[in-house]
Structure 1
Amino acid sequence: MIQCKRVYDAPSGQDGYRVLVDRLWPRGVKKTDLNYDEWCKDLAPSSELRKAFHADVLDFAAFREAYLAELADKRETGLPLKAKSKSGVLTLLYAAKDTRQNHALVLAQWLESLSISK
């Protein structure tokens, strides 16, 4: 199972394996204060794509499409996280304010769609 959670929300016992999926470290959070198992910058949107989305150059639909195109080349990087989600809960941590339109949700859907066997 894959779920998404803001880094600013309190951790819970149901979070399982917690992975930070932002390219940049979240503002106002000390590295020693964040309860996480892995920081996976490689699956975060590129800096250019992130900046375009936050500057409202792209709407969410266009951002999602461009981000999925970036993820297409990162299957091998995503497979270990997919495997974690098959053996327990995988929580993708993100810092975005919008809980309904953010890259972690797109990443979660992409990971769900990955097939472990080629």
Structure 2
Amino acid sequence: MIKLKRVYEEPSEEDGYRILTERLWPRGVSKERAKLDQWMKGVSPSPGLRKWFDHDHDKWEEFKDRYRKELFGSEAIQELIDIIQKEDTVTFVFASKDEEHNSTVVLKDFIEQLLSQ
């Protein structure tokens, strides 16, 4: 099972294996408070794509397409799949205030589609 959770929410036992899926460390959060098992920068959007998107909802559909193309070429995806297949629960941790329009939502959907094939 893959869950999503903001890094600013309190970690819990139900989160299972916690992976930060952001390229940049979230502001105002210590490593102790984040309680992460892993930080996987390689599954986040490229700096250029992240800056281009800039959380602009008008760019959301194109962002999803561009990001999926980046994920197809990512070596980190196989590492992430290996972790997911070993763990009962994996929580992708993200910093965005927008819980519906962020790269981690796209990543979760992408991984779930790969695993369902």
Q: Does the pair score TM above 0.5?
A: yes
Partner of 2:35: 35
| Stretches of 4+ aligned residues off by more than 6 angstroms | none
In 1: Cα distance, 2:97 partner to 2:42 partner: 21
1:57-87: CA deviation from partner (whole Å, max 9, x where unpaired): 961111101100100101x422232233334
* Offset of residue 32 of structure 1: 2.8
- Structure 1 regions of 5+ residues with no counterpart? none
* Offset of residue 115 of structure 1: 4.5
1:85 matches 2:84: yes
Q: Secondary structure at the match of 1:51?
A: helix
* TM-score (normalised: structure 1): 0.88
In 2: Cα distance, 1:37 partner to 1:10 partner: 15
- Structure 2 regions of 5+ residues with no counterpart? none
* Offset of residue 55 of structure 1: 6.3
Aligned residues: 116
Paired residues of 1:79 and 1:114 also in contact (CA < 8 A): no
Partner of 2:100: 100
1:16-70: CA deviation from partner (whole Å, max 9, x where unpaired): 1000000000011122321100000001001111111116396111110110010
* TM-score (normalised: structure 2): 0.88
Task: Summarize the alignment of residues 1-118 of structure 1 with structure 2, pairs less than 5 Å apart.
Answer: 1-54=1-54, 56=56, 59-74=59-74, 76-86=75-85, 87-115=87-115
CA RMSD of aligned residues (A): 2.1
State the identity as a percent.
40
Greater helix fraction, Structure 1 or Structure 2: 2
Q: Output the amino acid matched with 1:81.
A: L
